[in-house]
Amino acid sequence: MGLGSRFASIVESRGPLCVGIDPSTDSLRTVRLPDTAAGALEFGRAVVAVAATRVGIVKPQVAYFERFGSAGYGALELLIREAREAGLVVIADAKRGDIGSTMEGYASAWLGDGPLQSDALTVSPYQGFAALEPAFSLAEASGATVFVLSSTSNPDADNVQRASLAGEMLPVLVARFARERSGDTKTVGVVVGATRDLAARGLTVSNLDGLLILAPGFGAQGASLTDISHIFGAASPNVIPSVSRSVVYEGLANAATAIEEHLRELGL
């Protein structure tokens, strides 16, 4: 049971907030854990323990585990399994993308029946939308969701994401493709950063209508959770806002308080 098939019940019971698990060098230093795979695992377990009582979704950032090689992946496997056993939905933030049997490999890694199996995966569309099909197919079969990068929160993405084809910018083309491929399911969603004026990347609320939207860029990165309806308008009910650094900024002991504050901002 992936994110797609569980989304409505998660929002009903826990609300849409997603807590990122980002054991970067800086975050580990902030919480006084070693910058090792074991430190990343301890960090992740602490975030999961707090998140499991308050939210429905967590998002480990794969890069922070991959930097420790197989040891980091061993930690991530344990963390994903423990989070799912605790009832949380796991979005693997991996931003993978390739073609053909290589894309099948990535889909299998994150959505197949293996040690890293997650409920959702982020992917990058530079090699074309159809090239990502192995991930969509596997997600469809398991009720999971694949979030395709549409408009990301960093301004320096403009030199790619403001490029256009037949008069439409790439973020709009990604959103249209996602909607067509997803249909009424929640198989394909989009990543749209919340710190950007959507219109600067060509997006309107109607482009996003009906799509699951993973929206990083809240909390420490800029936008406030109270801005969701302002930014996403009628598309807001399908927004999964993600917070990371703000949760651990004052240490793991204060993470529960930080999450409660974020839930208040969401009116929950």
Q: Note the residues at the interface with a second copy (CB under 8 A).
A: 22, 24-26, 61, 63-64, 66-71, 73-74, 76-77, 95-106, 108-109, 112, 114-116, 124-131, 149, 152-154, 156-165, 169-170, 173, 177
Closest separation between CB of residue 21 and a second copy, Å?
12
Our CB check for a second copy shows the closer of 25 and 226 to be: 25
Residue 153 phi, psi (nearest 5): -80, -10
Instruction: Find residue 151's DSSP bridge partners.
Output: 192
Task: Characterize 176-203 residue by residue with b for buried, 16 or more Cβ atoms within 10 angstroms of its Cβ, and e for exposed.
Answer: ebbbebbeeebbbbbbbbbbbebeebbb
In whole angstroms, give the CA distance from residue 249 to residue 97.
Answer: 31
CA 260 vs. chain centroid, Å, equals 20
Give the closest residue to 148 by CA, choosing from 127, 123, 119, 184: 123
40 touches 72 (CB < 8 A): yes
Our CB check for a second copy shows the closer of 145 and 152 to be: 152
Q: What are 216's two structure tokens?
A: 């990083």
Catalytic (active site) residue 95 = yes
Closest separation between CB of residue 40 and a second copy, Å?
10
Our CB check for a second copy shows the closer of 112 and 233 to be: 112
Closest separation between CB of residue 184 and a second copy, Å?
23
Catalytic position from the list 84, 95, 162, 245:
95
CA atoms within 13 A on the CB side of 134: 18
Q: What are 204's two structure tokens?
A: 């309107």
Closest separation between CB of residue 193 and a second copy, Å?
9
Give the closest residue to 92 by CA, choosing from 114, 162, 173, 160: 114
Our CB check for a second copy shows the closer of 8 and 130 to be: 130
Q: What are 42's two structure tokens?
A: 């301890």
Q: In one letter, which amino acid is 9?
A: S
Closest separation between CB of residue 201 and a second copy, Å?
12
In whole angstroms, give the CA distance from residue 29 to residue 68.
Answer: 16
Residues that are catalytic: 95
